[in-house]
Structure 1
Amino acid sequence: MLKENIVEKGREIGFLDIKFTGSEPFTEYLMHLQTLKEKNIYPPFVTEEISLRTNPRLILASCKTIIAVAMSYKHLMDIAANNPLPENYGYISPSAWHTDYHTLLKDSMEELIEFIDEQTEGKYTFKAYVDTGHLSDREVAKRAGLGYIGKNSCLITAKSGSYVWLGHILTNLYIKPDTQMNRQCGDCRNCILACPTKAINDDGTIDYNKCLSNVLVQKGDLPKSIINKMGKRIYGCDTCQLVCPKNKVLKSQGIDEHIEPGWMDLEELDKHSNKTFKEKYGHTAFSWRGKSVLKRNADAIKDKETQPKGT
């Protein structure tokens, strides 16, 4: 009954879905990470200590259950689809528009934890993470049964495709695990063929040295090979999601007329100091990267557009 109550409360809070998995090590993912290290395409911005990435009990020694949560941003993709990028604007991934999803998920997860705490008389420990934990949100979600991981490395859910934000909660409260999905992408190679930089490999690995979503948030000069392929992207890419059949068949969630599209004027960043940038954009998911990297991207777009074609 507690499990059902948690799921019901989660949906009331605003989660798309909630699933549960055990605390045993992620052995399949461990082998995957070892392969990525060998190929020199290990994911950025995460610890290289593979045991921490794959063993929940190194994070919470008493862990018995991991609660996997998903929240949909399909409504933002609908807004983007209905508001094409204006001529002098750069692309910001809709998932990063407006209020930072880390804040949205963390606040919602804290509300869920408070509910569970009340239901269990405060007897248990909880640790909540959104992107910032050592465990992979996607791997937790996959094993819990929220979805399956596609060839583009995104978690694909039945209700919202890959347009989901993910988080997880570690706890020493035992809750019966859910069953992992067995679905796969089959013969579909849409994302592999559409990727602008050919960063998606046939074996389902991503070359993060080519992936635009990764390279565009790295510091330093942009390689010419990236500038030639980045289009008008300032932050994020989304091509591999936009061509995915599982996303194309999703029904529109309706357009909230109060939400403006989050495209960015290419001249916008010239107007801001670091301080005013934080004041205006500090609440968004893309602000973490800072003004200078985003301005570098915007400047690369402007420079490219002023050059004669073929140069």
Structure 2
Amino acid sequence: MDVQKFKQELIAYSKEIGIDKIGFTTADPFSELKNRLIRQQELGYHSGFEEPDIEKRVTPTLLLDEPRSIISIALAYPSKMKDRVVSKKGERRGIFSRASWGLDYHHLLRDKLKKLEEFIKMKVPDARLKSMVDTGELSDRAVAERAGIGWSGKNCAIITPEFGSYVYIGEMITSIPFEPDTPIEDQCGSCTKCLEACPTGALVQGGQINAQRCISFLTQTKGFIPDEFREKIGNRVYGCDSCQTACPHNKVKNFHFHEEMEPDPEVAKPLLRPILQLSNREFKNKFGDVSGSWRGKKPIQRNAMIALAHFKDESAVSDLIEVLKNEASPVARGTAAWALGKIGGETAFAALEKAKAVETDSAVQIEIEKALSLNK
């Protein structure tokens, strides 16, 4: 088989099926990445969502028998909505980050990778292949960087010359010795706009992030949001785009290549108060197709309460009181208490006093006390 010719056929086919960029690299170990990952764990900067075995994250031979190359793909997603939300006075809305607009990107990337696999198998029936997206063992960004998709920016995102950092990436390990592409030289230069824009200082330095301080990570956790981050979250109900929107390489980057990525404005920028009353089925029906739903409704409801506190939305007091009185989850009750304290008013503080008298969970009691202290 003429591998170079087949590579060109594969590139052409990737364009036919809607892959916006494709790159190739070796299946060599990611030795430099290993040292960085070890250091991140030592510092406690990792999120805990990653593959825990660092060796698997950096050693393709542990994932596929005799791998010879890795294919990286990228799909560009929009940075602006075609259809704008029609807001009415007094209706407060939250926001999902751009990476959670439209259909869950995991499905989109897996579909493209599956089609690539089928094409390769048709041409090379005995080829061994292993594809992965986000939750796989390898670091998507490390593969994309080495395969020439883009460079790893100071904001820890892959930045492409064509689409900025508004890309979804995935990869496929193969037994075919494709010729590797040349990595793209870092083009961040002396710019530090993303570091300056990070609301919580999660970007420790260029290329290093403390995930435990990252709003994108925090909005996906299931426990109480630490006090120091609550007001910084603002009206974000999932994810954060601050480091992306600040990046000069993302200026005027807005691509609408894939219909599935077009957001429903009522999902991407949802009304906050109705989120508090959603049943599991209603949540799945409204948000189940977007990637931001992967942790379930509880984190989204907690974040919505923080957003209502951010807006000091007095119209939400009755909804928050219902959560405080009737919700089974201590995190929900405690966050509702905090939000009531932030919004304030006689009704809110009266409800907090009543809750204080009957609440048995110690964590919620602490939140009620914090909320009541705001009335002094």
TM-score bin, normalised by smaller chain: over 0.9
Q: Distance in 2 between matches of 1:252 and 1:130?
A: 21
Q: Give, in angstroms, the shift of residue 142 of structure 1.
A: 0.3
Q: Give, in angstroms, the shift of residue 304 of structure 1.
A: 3.5
* SS at 1:201 equivalent: strand
* SS at 2:10 equivalent: helix
Mark the runs of 5 or more structure 1 residues left unpaired by the alignment: none
Q: Is the 8 A contact 2:85 2:269 kept in 1?
A: no
Q: Give, in angstroms, the shift of residue 279 of structure 1.
A: 2.9
Q: Is the 8 A contact 1:217 1:235 kept in 2?
A: yes
Matching residue of 1:125: 128
Q: Distance in 1 between matches of 2:292 and 2:254?
A: 27
Matching residue of 2:98: 94
Question: Are residue 244 (structure 1) and residue 247 (structure 2) matched?
Answer: yes
Q: Distance in 2 between matches of 1:195 and 1:79?
A: 23
Which structure has the greater CA radius of gyration? 2
Q: Give, in angstroms, the shift of residue 36 of structure 1.
A: 1.0
Q: Give, in angstroms, the shift of residue 39 of structure 1.
A: 1.6
Matching residue of 1:268: 274
1:73-88 equivalent positions in 2, closer than 5 A = 73=77, 75=78, 77-79=79-81, 83=84, 86=87, 88=92
Q: Give, in angstroms, the shift of residue 219 of structure 1.
A: 1.1
* SS at 2:213 equivalent: coil
**TM-score normalised by structure 1 residue count:** 0.92
**Relative to structure 1, is the Cα distance of residues 286 and 199 closer, same or farther in structure 2, using a 3 angstrom cutoff?**
same
Amino acid at match of 2:80: D
Q: Distance in 2 between matches of 1:103 and 1:249?
A: 27
Q: Is the 8 A contact 2:101 2:263 kept in 1?
A: no
Q: Distance in 2 between matches of 1:197 and 1:58?
A: 37
1:41-190 equivalent positions in 2, closer than 5 A = 41-73=45-77, 75=78, 77-79=79-81, 83=84, 86=87, 88-120=92-124, 122-190=125-193
Identity among equivalent positions (%) equals: 37
* SS at 1:41 equivalent: coil
**Relative to structure 1, is the Cα distance of residues 37 and 264 closer, same or farther in structure 2, using a 3 angstrom cutoff?**
same
Structure number with greater CO (CA < 8 Å, separation at least 6) is 1
Q: Give, in angstroms, the shift of residue 85 of structure 1.
A: 9.1
Q: Give, in angstroms, the shift of residue 254 of structure 1.
A: 8.5
Matching residue of 2:202: 199
Q: Give, in angstroms, the shift of residue 10 of structure 1.
A: 0.7
**Relative to structure 1, is the Cα distance of residues 117 and 43 closer, same or farther in structure 2, using a 3 angstrom cutoff?**
same
Count how many residue pairs are aligned between Structure 1 and Structure 2.
306
Bigger helix share? 2
**TM-score normalised by structure 2 residue count:** 0.77
RMSD between aligned residues = 2.2
Question: Are residue 280 (structure 1) and residue 286 (structure 2) matched?
Answer: yes
